[in-house]
């Protein structure tokens, strides 16, 4: 039986299902959503050949007419040009306002397909079938959709909640190990920001998680979604609380920018960012050394980097400052008080320097 949870957002509430072998049930699961028969399945050249035929067959069996669009690999897919291709395909396939756009793939496919769904006909139903750990525990939940701009990632986007999220854990079997580890960085983040018990579970099960043990994966994906869902329910459009999801991301984003996107995977950059934030909290006397040690240890056991790569001080601070500008004025960071509890607080560059260099 799949595990199920509901993201409670009033009229925009939706179900998240996670379990093995759900791809084959896609059509049946969509049949309850009062959708038009025509729909668009968006995937990429890696995931499509592995899994699209199962989804297509299931949709067909349930009476849907699906048209499949393959978008490019990598961040290049998150562009207005690719979104325009989705509109063309949606028109060709005869989508109407009750037709679904279905994303089958990692966070990149989800973000661009979701952006297409949010904007086509001023918004059509969107369904997520995430196939990476990162997408299952993070990108598919919460309704943020976006494409990139030459000046920065995710600069053009919307909040458009999915109507359903179907996380088939069996798809993770083909995921490269590096992607598994990067996804687990965000899972560890959830433990630190919201749930000490979950963090302890991860400490105990890290080897099983890396080996993709089904029961452990199920618990990890379900529990992470639960934590994110609770946060999103309280703050759908990022007015306040949702900011705690950015733990490890201030330095993480700066590292991604400076090392060039792709060199350091997002999850790897976040791992380093979490260590820096934890050290800062320790320097403030907030976080006990033993807790910093536990975080460091868990990240290392997951196979994630924990040391800041050698970068020029000036450019690193500049990249962090740029991040601050987009949020208006003062640099804010998410700092742990203890594992399971964080606060968003102003941090000066001087203070940051003491742990960065």
Site residues (vs ligand NAD, CB under 6 A): 44, 46-47, 50, 73, 75, 78, 105-109, 111, 131-132, 134-135, 138-139, 142, 144, 153-154, 171, 174-175, 179
Residue 172 DSSP symbol: G
Distance of alpha carbon 84 from alpha carbon 65, whole angstroms: 21
233: annotated active-site residue:
no
Of the candidates 43, 50, 49, 52, the one whose C-alpha atom is nearest the C-alpha of residue 70 is 43
- Of 203, 236, 238, 351, catalytic: 238
- Of 56, 179, 186, 268, catalytic: 186
- Of 228, 266, 279, 294, catalytic: 228
Distance of alpha carbon 130 from alpha carbon 107, whole angstroms: 7
- Of 265, 279, 294, 332, catalytic: 265
219: annotated active-site residue:
no
249: annotated active-site residue:
yes
**Of the two residues 106 and 248, which places its CB atom closer to ligand NAD in the complex?**
106
Of the candidates 184, 30, 60, 168, the one whose C-alpha atom is nearest the C-alpha of residue 104 is 168
Nearest distance from residue 304's CB to ligand NAD, in Å?
14
Nearest distance from residue 138's CB to ligand NAD, in Å?
4
Nearest distance from residue 16's CB to ligand NAD, in Å?
14
238: annotated active-site residue:
yes
Nearest distance from residue 335's CB to ligand NAD, in Å?
21
Q: Is 355 helix (H, G, I), strand (E, B) or coil?
A: helix
Distance of alpha carbon 29 from alpha carbon 112, whole angstroms: 22
338: annotated active-site residue:
no
DSSP 8-39: --GGG-EEEEEETT-GGGHHHHHHTT---SEE
**Of the two residues 5 and 134, which places its CB atom closer to ligand NAD in the complex?**
134
Distance of alpha carbon 194 from alpha carbon 191, whole angstroms: 6
350: annotated active-site residue:
no
Q: What does R_g of the chain's alpha carbons equal in angstroms? A: 20
Place of tokens 């899994």: 51
Nearest distance from residue 174's CB to ligand NAD, in Å?
4
Helix (H) or strand (E) holding 345: strand 341-346
- Of 56, 181, 219, 246, catalytic: 246
**Of the two residues 179 and 219, which places its CB atom closer to ligand NAD in the complex?**
179
Do the Cβ atoms of 26 and 166 come closer than 8 Å? yes
Nearest distance from residue 171's CB to ligand NAD, in Å?
4
Strand 101-105 relative to strand 38-44, pairing? parallel
**Of the two residues 161 and 282, which places its CB atom closer to ligand NAD in the complex?**
161
**Of the two residues 66 and 136, which places its CB atom closer to ligand NAD in the complex?**
136
4: annotated active-site residue:
no
**Of the two residues 160 and 279, which places its CB atom closer to ligand NAD in the complex?**
160
Among all residues, which ones are annotated catalytic?
Answer: 122, 144, 186, 228, 238, 242, 246, 249, 253, 265
């Amino acid at each position: 039986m799949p595990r199920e949870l509901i993201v409670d957002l009033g009229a925009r509430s939706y179900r998240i299902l996670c379990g093995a072998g759900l791809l084959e049930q896609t059509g049946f699961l969509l049949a309850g959503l009062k959708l038009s028969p025509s729909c668009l399945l968006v995937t990429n050249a890696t995931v499509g050949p592995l899994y699209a035929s199962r989804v297509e067959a299931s949709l067909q069996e349930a009476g849907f007419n699906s048209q499949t669009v393959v978008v490019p690999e990598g961040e290049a897919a998150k562009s207005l040009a690719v979104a325009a291709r989705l509109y063309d395909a949606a028109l060709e396939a005869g989508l109407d306002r009750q037709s679904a756009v279905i994303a089958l793939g990692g966070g990149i496919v989800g973000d661009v397909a979701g952006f297409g769904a949010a904007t086509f006909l001023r918004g059509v139903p969107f369904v997520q079938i995430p196939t990476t750990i990162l997408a299952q525990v993070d990108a598919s939940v919460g309704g943020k959709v976006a494409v990139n701009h030459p000046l920065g990632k995710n600069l053009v986007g919307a909040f458009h909640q999915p109507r359903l999220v179907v996380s088939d854990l069996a798809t993770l079997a083909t995921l490269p190990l590096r992607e598994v580890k990067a996804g687990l960085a965000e899972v560890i983040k959830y433990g630190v920001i919201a749930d000490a018990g979950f963090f302890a579970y991860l400490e105990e099960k890290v080897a099983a998680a890396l080996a993709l043990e089904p029961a452990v994966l199920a618990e990890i994906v379900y529990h992470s979604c639960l934590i994110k869902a609770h946060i999103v329910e309280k703050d759908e459009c990022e007015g306040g609380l949702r900011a705690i999801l950015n733990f490890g991301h201030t330095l993480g984003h700066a590292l991604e920018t400076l090392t060039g996107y792709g060199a350091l995977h997002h999850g790897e950059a976040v791992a380093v960012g979490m260590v820096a934030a934890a050290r800062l909290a320790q320097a403030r006397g907030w976080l006990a050394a033993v807790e910093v040690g536990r975080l460091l240890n868990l990240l290392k056991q997951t196979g994630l980097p924990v040391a800041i790569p050698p970068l020029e001080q000036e450019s690193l601070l500049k990249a962090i400052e740029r991040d601050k500008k987009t949020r208006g004025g003062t640099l804010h960071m998410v700092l742990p008080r203890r594992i399971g509890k964080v606060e968003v607080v102003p941090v000066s560059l001087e203070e940051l320097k003491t742990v960065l260099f």
